[in-house]
Structure formats: C-alpha cells, structure tokens
Structure 1
C-alpha cells in the first residue's frame, strides 16, 4: 500500500507578517492555513498503513537494519564494522526501535504542555483549533511508533531513567511557560527531522515499513515546526532583555539534552551488546566525526535561534561548550556540503588525560602528606575492588536494555569512595576516582 505524503502545507514563515503590528498576536492567516492543511492531509496509522502487507512484514535478519554511517555515530567505528553481520543487524534494529521509543516519549511530554496551553486560549481562537490538530497528529505518531517497536520484538527503554522522570514535569511546567514549551518543541522536533531526512536520502537502505512511518512523520512534523517557528517569532520579539537571556540559554541546553536522548542510546545498550567502553565513548561524542554529527544535528535550531536574535556572541559560548555550535544553514534541512571526516576508531586522549591526572594526584599525595605511599596503596586497593566487580560482572552476564537500575554497581562506587576518605582524605578520594576513571576505558562493560 502506498501512502501519499505530498501534503500542500504552506511554506515555512521566516518571520512575523508585516500587518500584524506589535501586538504579539500570531499570524491568523498562517495558522488557518495550517489548520486547513491538517484537515486536508492527515494520516491515521491504522488506516493509511497496511501493517500486515507482505512488503511491510519485518524480518529480524533483514540486512537493511544495519546502521548507516551517515546517521549513526556507532556505525563509523571500526569496532562496529568488524562485527558479524547478524550482530550488526541486531544492534541496528535495537537502536532504531529505541529512537522511536524516545520520540514517542518526547511527544507524550509535548502533549502535556500543549493541551494545558490550549486550555488557556479564548473562545474562537484559531490557534486552539490548530493545536488540537497537532495533538491529534502526535497521538497518531505515538500509536505508529509504538506499533513498530512492538513488531521489532526489542524491549527497548527509550529515554534514560532521569529523563523519563524529569520530562513529564517539564512538560507540565511548559503549560505555564509557553515560550519555553515551544523552544522545547523545536529542540526535540528539529534534530529528529534532520535524522529522518538523512534516512530518506538513502531510503532504499531501510525496511519499507520504517520508511513509510518516517515519511508520514516528516510530512506532519513540518507543520508543527512551522507553527513553533511562527509562535516564537511573534512572542520572543515582545519580551524584555532578562527573559531573552533565559531563552537564549534554554535553546542550547534543551537541544543538547534532547539530541543526546534521541541519537545516543543508553549505556544499557552497550552492556547488552558488549561494546567496549572506549568505543562507545568515542562514538558518543568524543571522536571528531561524531562531534561533527552532533553539531550538524543542531544546525536547523541554530538557524531559528539566529532568526530570533538569541544566537548572540555570549550565548555561542554555551553552544560551543555543549558541542553543538557550527554552521548556520540557509534553509531548514540544508545538507552539509563540507568534506566528510574519515571513519575513526578510538579516542585515546581521554585515557591519557585521566592517567596523567591520577599520576599528578599521586605526586601530590607523596609531596604533601607523610603517608603518601599508604594513600596510594589504599587507592590502588579500592580501584582493584572496582575493577574486580566489573570483570566478574562481565563474565557472569551484564544487564540488558530494559533492566531496572543496577544498585550493586552504585554500592561498589559508594563503598570504595567512602572507605577512601578516612584513609587518605580528599587527596585519596580524588586519587581513587581518577584511577577508576582511567581504568574504566578498558573495562568490557560500561
């Protein structure tokens, strides 16, 4: 079954209409056009997709589940390339399912804030009508993504535990802080839009059902992004300097958090598939190629922040600090035409840096205290306890993707650090932490 996604949604506005004035009202004509487009070209996942059609059946051994180096940072590592085909397929299917799970969890957060905001709008508001169209779209997306996750058979967790707890709270608060809400909408929708656009440029390399689902999502999310852009263009222009400063900070912080959730799998994935710690860390986000992908995922949001006057000289320091600064595209979805970086394997600078830090702390212990050798010995013993736990854990089986929190691992950390304080004070505590972090890069699990 073929789904027609050639929606005639209006072109994305680049700023407020000239005839709106300074009242801060949204462009009613643009919102009405979005309502018309939503009514004329909407999708129901259980009507427009024939889930049981032969071409839409999912094969666990389909080689098209493999990760694409243009989209997935892990696929750029030599470790991934050396894995057997079956293993690469299994990892690709897991990551694909987890990205969809993260997306539907994000859309649940979005719904909490948008439905509350819609309830504050006056009677006769065309914005109310559009927001309900958008919520309908999001509910369909949640159904669609969850159905595909179910059909993959992978029990993926989606977002990390902290985000699953904090996200709904932020969504509720967004119902009162509307500008923050729509900044969050853009920071969540645009990076995913970027990733799925890259996927469709190589559409033959993914299962047909996945391609159909993401095509529907791209068509409808384009309307949502257009509305959020227009909303922020109207509202941000009317606020004072202090609030603009807060919004300028919110953009990079929200964006970095959501990119990390959507593109980087949780550490449980690395434990389940036995990915070496240094490989996982290099893929997310220490290698030059992965950092370039991180920055490119943020390109469209940087353009929006620039148009809003929130991509200022001082705020760029925050973007740069979070690793999401870079070029400003001329239009949404403009591809990066710069030369691609070669595939990388491992990023060793971190290991050497942590080893040097441990050596410096050992020197401080010897120079500043009369019991420096004892402090070093106790720190080495504590590190050995930590290493022994992880080696045994690796031999007897690590955790799987959706397992509850691993309390024994936390207990080992706490016991080692607490025992170090009476033996070596703060110097000893710092020494054992740096020793553990240096050796952690060589552990088989994370």
Structure 2
C-alpha cells in the first residue's frame, strides 16, 4: 500500500529528497563555469536588422487571429517589438520580487552553507538579468510596460509575507513559462541577434535557478506543515491567474495602432494563444502535479488561469 502524506499526497510521487548542500555545491560549480556579463558579452551598439523580429511571430499574442491576418507585416513586427518590451518589463518586475523572496529565505539559514552561498549567487544573476532586460527595452525603442497598480501592490504584499513553499512555487511560475519561450527564441534566426543573445544568457543561467527552486519546493511539500502546503496550493493558483493576465500589457495594442478591446477579445478567443500558454506551462504543471501542489481549489484556479488544460 502506498504511503500518503497527511493531506493525501502519495509520498512516492514526491520522490527522494536530494542533499540540499550537495545540490547547492553543484549549482555553484555550474555558476563558476557558465555565468555571463551581458554588458561585455553582447553587442549593444549593433544596428537592428529591419527584416528581423524582436520576438518569434508564433509567440506574439495575436498570432493567427483574424486581426493578425488583417495586419500589415510592418505592424505585426512592431507589435512583436512592443510585446518583447512588455515581457522584459514583466521580467524585471518579477526578478525584483524574486530577489526579495530569496533574501527572506536565507535570512535564518546558516550563513556559511552552500545553500545560502548559491542563493546569493542567484541574486547576483538576477541583478544582472534585471539590468539586461531594462537595457534591452531602452535599446529596442519601445516603452517600458509596468504591471497594473493592483498587481504591483499584490506583488508588494506577496514578497513581504509569502511562505517559503509559496515563494518557490511563484518563482517557478515566473521562470518556467518564459524559459520555454526563450528556448524557442535564442536559436531562431528570424529574431534580432541582440534579443537572441539576451534570451540565450537568460536560459543558461535560469536553468540553475529552476533546479534550485524545484529541489527546495519538493523539500517543502514534504516537510512543511499541512496548513502551509494547503496555502501554497491556493496562492500558487492565484499567482497563476495574475501572471496569465499580466503576461502582455494591453497598452501594447494601443501603441501599435490597434483597438485594444478588439485585440483583447481575439487573444482570449485564440486557440493558438491558449495552446502556447499551456505548452509553456506544461513542464511546470506536470511537476507541480507530481509533488501535490495542484489539488483542490488551487487546481481549479490554475485551470481558470488558462495555463492548465
């Protein structure tokens, strides 16, 4: 008979916990070999190619909608440029939240441990990523697109009061969907070389961040008290709903000369867009399901976000 946790999660599904210090040491070794200085690594002064995209067209929110089919190519490419700026803006917002969550996580951990040392290494990575994304926005010529005041203040509360498992669940939500999209972007020769370079750096360094967060969340879903695991299920579902709405700032449609209401309606109705978002989230939702996060009301919230089929 399969042993269960007190809230019904099969213990075998959680898998054996890896040694926390061993994981951190391996991540530190990888960081020493594969870390980048974007200011030195990328050619920020190279001119943009007018025939290349700032984001793969298939990942643009309106792709394959009736509105997209009516848009001239120049307007489609302009929308891709603005959506790239919107995603980079979302990335900076998220990275700043993540840095505070990591600082809170290690505040009461042994200061000489590899686990803490790697968290500090990741914070340094995230500082560089935030500056890299901000520089990309400015270089691309589109405006920055902050999240709404409501979402900004929700983030303010979350980064101040989130539990440890809730923090790592939200970390993975912010990292893995964008990572999936960026893995499609950096090898795509249709895309601007600078954008490809930015996404390549981010993918390489974020792979370590995902490993760190996954191992810690798996540990928390075994060791945290029942109330904290249940709270994680609900807060991760709410975070998924916010993230799916905030993913592209609707101001981008206005800024490229589209009717915002029509564009939003077509994005919501787009089967292609729904498939893109669910494909981007699938690796994450499979993992969260395996470790018992996608249960009860939290699972229903994930479904309502559109990220879970």
State the partner residue of 2:86.
98
Write the distance in 2 (CA, Å) between the matches of 1:255 and 1:317.
11
Write the distance in 1 (CA, Å) between the matches of 2:75 and 2:289.
42
State the partner residue of 1:181.
167
1:30 to 23, 31, 37: 23
1:41 aligns with 2:34: yes
1:198 aligns with 2:184: yes
Write the distance in 2 (CA, Å) between the matches of 1:67 and 1:141.
18
TM-score (norm 1): 0.62
1:212 aligns with 2:197: yes
State which drifts further: 188-197 or 212-221.
188-197
Summarize deviations over 1:259-294 as a string: whole Å, max 9, x none.
3323x2x23222333323453123432232222223
- Paired residues of 2:181 and 2:280 also in contact (CA < 8 A): yes
TM-score (norm 2): 0.87
Helix, strand or coil at the partner of 1:76: coil
State the partner residue of 1:120.
108
* Pairwise CA RMSD: 2.3
- Paired residues of 1:65 and 1:207 also in contact (CA < 8 A): yes
1:12-161 paired onto structure 2 within 5 Å: 17=16, 27-52=20-45, 56-59=46-49, 62-65=50-53, 68-161=56-149
- Per the TM alignment, residue 17 of structure 1 is displaced from its structure 2 partner at its CA by 4.4
Summarize deviations over 1:40-61 as a string: whole Å, max 9, x none.
2211112222323xxx3325xx
Which structure's CA Rg is the greater one?
1
Summarize deviations over 1:309-365 as a string: whole Å, max 9, x none.
222366433332332222xxxxxxxxxxxxxxxxxxxxxxxxxxxxxxxxxxxxxxx
State the partner residue of 1:268.
251
Write the distance in 1 (CA, Å) between the matches of 2:57 and 2:38.
29
- Per chain length, whose mean CA-contact separation is higher, i.e. which structure has more relative contact order (CA < 8 Å, sep 6+)? 2
Summarize deviations over 1:95-136 as a string: whole Å, max 9, x none.
111211110111011112212322221232211100011001
- Paired residues of 2:177 and 2:277 also in contact (CA < 8 A): no
Helix, strand or coil at the partner of 1:218: helix
Write the distance in 1 (CA, Å) between the matches of 2:296 and 2:161.
29
1:292 aligns with 2:278: no
Write the distance in 1 (CA, Å) between the matches of 2:15 and 2:219.
6
Write the distance in 1 (CA, Å) between the matches of 2:99 and 2:266.
32
Write the distance in 2 (CA, Å) between the matches of 1:254 and 1:109.
13
Gaps of at least 5 residues in structure 1 are 1-13, 21-25, 327-446
State the partner residue of 1:414.
none
Using a 3 Å threshold, how does the CA distance of structure 1 residues 308 and 227 change in structure 2: closer, same or farther?
Answer: same
Summarize deviations over 1:141-178 as a string: whole Å, max 9, x none.
1111111111112222232232223323322223xx22
State the partner residue of 1:226.
211
Summarize deviations over 1:65-117 as a string: whole Å, max 9, x none.
26544312212223223223332222221111121111011101111221232
Aligned residue-pair number = 297
State the partner residue of 1:253.
238
1:169 aligns with 2:152: no
